[in-house]
Amino acid sequence: MAQYADIIEIVAPSQAAAGNKVDIAVKIKNTYSAVISIMVGGALEYGVSPWPGIDFPENWANVNGGATYSFNGSFIMPDRRVTIHAYSYWYGSDGSWYFDDEFTKSVEIAAVSEPSISDFRIADFIKV
């Protein structure tokens, strides 16, 4: 259980096509009674080492006591199922960041549909 920076949820699609940008949000609650600095981090697990990171343009915020903050990030979907690992940290009065919580969510690879005859126009096949 988290001490001060409790990850409540990872908001991400259940599936995505390979090569597409996947937007995510990691919701972290400040369980302390006063304002503290909270930081988010993340990595992707899908069979490569080291695990690639997740891009969070704004990866920390001062969060009011009892409030939940949503950190927005993204990654490019690999060619297979991926597990998102999100991490939370809180900033101590000694000037150090402390790891606090971890949460995971899986994103499946979206099947690419085969084109149907209705996807084509006759004009695409006629040379002028």
Coil, strand, or helix at residue 118? helix
Q: Which domain holds residue 84?
A: 5-124
Confidence at residue 111, expressed as pLDDT on a 0 to 100 scale:
79
pLDDT digits (tens, 9 = 90+) for 60-73: 999 999 999 999 99
**Parallel, antiparallel, or unpaired: how do β-strands 5-11 and 21-30 relate?**
antiparallel
Confidence at residue 121, expressed as pLDDT on a 0 to 100 scale:
60
Provide the number of structural domains found in the chain. Answer: 1
CB 73 within 8 A of CB 54: yes
pLDDT digits (tens, 9 = 90+) for 5-53: 999 999 999 999 999 999 999 999 999 999 999 999 999 999 999 999 9
Which CATH number characterizes residue 74's domain? Answer: 2.60.40.10
